[in-house]
Amino acid sequence: MNSNIPICDAADPFPRSPAFIMPALACDTHAHVFGPERLYDYTPNRTYTPPDAPVGAYRHLHQQLGICRGVLVQPSVYGTDNQLQLDTLHYLNSQGLEYKGVAVVDADVDEGELDCLQEGGHCGVRMNLLFKGGIAWRDVEALAQRLAARNWHLQFLIDVSEFEELEARIRALPVPVVIDHMGHMDCRKGVSNVGFQALLNLLRDGQAWVKLSGAYRITAEQHPPYADVDPFAQALVEANAERCVWGSDWPHPHFSIPMPNDGDLLDLLARWVPDEARRNRILVDNPAQLYGF
């Protein structure tokens, strides 16, 4: 193992139940599984090394939170090798559970690989646009045309404050677009930031979906409830609650403040969306529409 690659803290192994009543068929739209490394190799050019986060711990999390459905998102440490996710989805769905996946693929991925991923429960592709020098936008456009024929979506890890022509580029894509972690923008930049306002415009017009997740990635605070995130989450919900979904981001890899308990993170949703009917839509109906449950 490369000693220069930081090892992440493990998730809190004792997730507590939320302080509100979860609706039937609630969905966690953003989580990852990791390891063991002896079976699933990490890519050597990764930015972090996670501790093992196996499927049993993932299911325990959902049982404690009252989650019935989930979406696994391919993490960067595996590159375009989606095998662990395929194996995990096969296991979960063989138990009669309802789980989907979002894969990471090369821009020129062949149709046979996409067929395999689709048969294995995947319905979208995640692209990391957070760091400059990554995939070219023309590659995004070309892949989007191919995914449209499958009724898949594109999920973007992106800092909305730093991506040029965000609104115009996303409006031009032929597939649904999902934005990770509320736009992944430092809260200190403010709700009036041009990029965040562009995200709100896309939401209002139904041109994008957003994940109410990763509050600890954008806050300037150390511990929940991360009050500085409230105006951002509330603005997204007010822009279009029918295009918001919730995700735990378990097991919370690669961030710089103390590890939160997942019960505290789920309680943030009740803080941001006190109306039960609207909150239940975000937990149940919206993800059912987006992921095809």
Rg (CA), the chain: 18
- Indicate the angle between helix axes 194-204 and 230-240, nearest 10 degrees: 30
Q: What is the strand order of the sheet 177-179 is part of?
A: 27-31, 69-73, 98-103, 122-128, 153-157, 177-179, 209-212, 244-246
User: Rounded distance, CA 104 to CA 62, Å?
Assistant: 24
Tokens describing residue 129 = 């646009």
Tokens describing residue 68 = 């019935």
Q: Is 9 among the residues known to form the active site?
A: no
Distances in Å between the alpha carbon of 211 and those of 6, 106, 262, 283? 26, 23, 16, 11
In angstroms, how far is CA 264 from the centroid of its own chain? Answer: 18
Select which of 28, 159, 249, 267 is catalytic.
Answer: 249
Positions marked catalytic: 249
